[in-house]
Amino acid sequence: MIVHVGVNVYVIVGVYVDALRITHQRTMNTLYEAKLADHIRARNIQAEQLIFQQSTHSVAEAALAVNATLEDFVKSICFISKTDRIVVAIVKGEDRADRTKVQDAAGLGKLSIASPAEMLAHTGYPAGGTPPFGFEATFLMDERVLERATVYAGGGSEQALIRIAPDELQRVNGALMAVLRK
């Protein structure tokens, strides 16, 4: 028997739905992280995957998580071509990718920034956790990425990072080196 208790019913239902959403998101993050860990292990990639309780979605959040500076990070900026090909521009954490330079380096014509849904569909990883390897794409890497001995990058979810040497990163993703930053 249901007893009408007013607005509080919705609050209780809302709390339950929020708990389910959080549980589902953590389960999905675990699956994305495991997929990347398997890829790293299967290909003997010299990288360390780090998983956190807090968000590492932005470079600023990630820097706090590992007590590092923006210069210690690389971002995987995903673009999409008119022919539905994904292009990943890897730039240092403090830099911004220049779309014209990325388009010229990729040679695929006009590119658009990929939406979070397109990123997930094409890379298999969510925005904010997209690693710089592990899926089919045209990879481009800005020359400044090589300035550090090791860098941090997306680790498969919004709560994970990888630590990798830039030369190892280029080896595993086959990135073309170019000047991609603004």
Closest CA to 114 of 142, 92, 137, 93: 137
Residues 6+ away with beta carbon under 8 Å from 182: 95, 96, 97, 98
Report the alpha-carbon distance of residue 131 to residue 135 in Å, rounded: 9
Confirm whether 2 is domain-assigned.
no
Q: Which residues of the chain have pLDDT under 70?
A: 1-27
Closest CA to 126 of 38, 52, 25: 25
Confirm whether 105 is domain-assigned.
yes
Confirm whether 1 is domain-assigned.
no
Single pTM value for the model: 0.85
pLDDT, residue 25, reads: 60
pLDDT, residue 113, reads: 97
User: In terms of residue numbers, what domain contains 38?
Assistant: 8-178
Confirm whether 143 is domain-assigned.
yes
pLDDT, residue 168, reads: 98
- Provide the number of structural domains found in the chain: 1
Confirm whether 139 is domain-assigned.
yes
User: What CATH number is associated with residue 93?
Assistant: 3.90.960.10
Q: Are 176 and 88 a contacting pair, CB within 8 Å?
A: no
Confirm whether 80 is domain-assigned.
yes
pLDDT, residue 30, reads: 83
